[in-house]
Amino acid sequence: MYKGIWPVAPTPFHDDGTLDLEGMKRVLDFMIDAGVDGICILANYSEQFVLSDEEREVLTRLSLEHVANRVPVIVTVSHFATQIALERTRLAKSLGASMVMLMPPYHGATLRGTPEQIFEQFKAVGEVGIPIMVQDAPMAGNDLTVPLLVRIAREIEMVKLFKIECIPATGKLRELIAVGGEAIQGPFDGEEGITLMADLDAGATGTMTSATIPDKIKPILALHAQGNREGASEVYRQVLPVINFENRQCLWRASKTAMMEGGVINSDYCRHPIAPLHPETRAGLLDVLRPIDPLVLSWGK
């Protein structure tokens, strides 16, 4: 069950900074048409850090209602306060989410949960009774050691998946799978799939990329799962320039720019203090996208 490509949906805004709810529906429809195996909402690549609590609830309801079980939906519920993470988890479960994604508790550059506090927060969220993906991301700054992750996997029944996007991800995935065994049901990578081939070789069963080119990344996972590593590597080499450009120069703005170019959404606006892409960077992104002819550039035209 826990395999394939589960990209993060961007949050579209109008040019005045208000939520584009119709655009959100189109984003979800595009992703499903692109063949994703699941969708994650309200993650860092959804610009969760510029959304109010009220907007989060609106987007959670809209997304789950609009997807209507066509694919599983992961709702990100991360918060420093365990009580708020619990409230978000209960809402997601009540609205029909398939699972939630949770980062360890942190706030700013210096306030982070201890290993025991991290375990306690995941345990509390697990008691809500919905599968959990642990997000091991550099943004949190927590040192999620393999022994801690394995303890979480073995002692908290609802912890099923692990999105490993720390540096270096490949070695950590390999060790996590070796030490955790059957408790590690869904080892995933992130970071737009920039180390995807190495991570698949290490045992990853899925990836959580951006929503820019899921139709071009999915065949890599399918070919690798079939034992055709040479074929997977060939496809990976074709898309790696896009992944690298996105990861190193654009981040979450890449999906929005590509979607605006392809008519999925009407604006690639990002809320201040996020700056828009420089015109040369935007042109460079489209320049590396066009040769691989991704669905995103034609879906809305």
Q: Is 301 a catalytic residue?
A: no
Q: Distances from the Cα of 103 to the Cαs of 27, 55, 57, 180, 243, in angstroms?
A: 24, 20, 19, 19, 23
Helix, strand, coil fractions of the chain, as percent rounded to 5: 50, 10, 35
| Cα–Cα dist 271/151, whole Å | 38
Query: Would you call 285 helix, strand, or coil by DSSP?
Result: helix
With both helix axes pointing from N to C terminus, report the angle between 115-126 and 82-94 in degrees, rounded to the nearest 10. Answer: 30
DSSP summary character for residue 9: P
Residue 208 known to bind ligand:
yes
Name the one residue in this structure whose structure tokens are 């099923």. Answer: 160
Q: Are 128 and 157 in contact (CB under 8 A)?
A: no
DSSP summary character for residue 242: H
| Cα–Cα dist 252/123, whole Å | 30
Backbone angles phi, psi at 253, to 5 degrees: -70, -20
Pairing label, strands 73-76, 4-5: unpaired
Catalytic residue among 3, 93, 160, 163: 163
Residues flagged as binding site for pyruvate? 208
Binding residues: 208
Residues labelled as active-site residues = 163
